[in-house]
């Protein structure tokens, strides 16, 4: 699973480059955590939820527009994010 937070931040009109860089570093760390936990289903689900929570916080910090996340669902190796 890979989500490019820097690309998403650019798409929503953010100009805060430092926040995007921090977000990318945090996201790479979270992806590594998810990959390491994927061998154990319960830990993989928890790591995925933590990564999505981190992604939501990055969105809040880098976005200059209001976005609404309607649903975040994780399970069976898939992640769904509806906005």
pLDDT in tens, 16-34: 555 556 666 666 666 666 6
**Global pTM value:** 0.31
3-state secondary structure of 2: coil
Check residue 14 and give its pLDDT: 46
Domain ranges of the chain: 5-82
Measured torsion, CA atoms of residues 17, 18, 24, 30, in degrees rounded to the nearest 10: -150
Please say if the pLDDT value at position 42 is more than 70.
Answer: no
Identify any residues that bridge with 75 across adjacent strands, giving them in sequence order.
78
Identify any residues that bridge with 78 across adjacent strands, giving them in sequence order.
75
Please say if the pLDDT value at position 63 is more than 70.
Answer: no
């Amino acid at each position: 699973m890979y989500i490019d937070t820097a690309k998403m931040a650019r798409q929503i009109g953010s100009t805060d480059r430092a926040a995007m860089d921090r977000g990318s570093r945090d996201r790479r760390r979270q992806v590594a955590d998810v990959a390491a936990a994927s061998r154990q289903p319960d830990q993989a689900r928890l790591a995925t939820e933590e990564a999505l929570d981190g992604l939501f916080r990055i969105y809040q910090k880098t976005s200059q527009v209001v976005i609404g996340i309607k649903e975040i669902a994780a399970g069976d190796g898939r992640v769904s994010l509806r906005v």
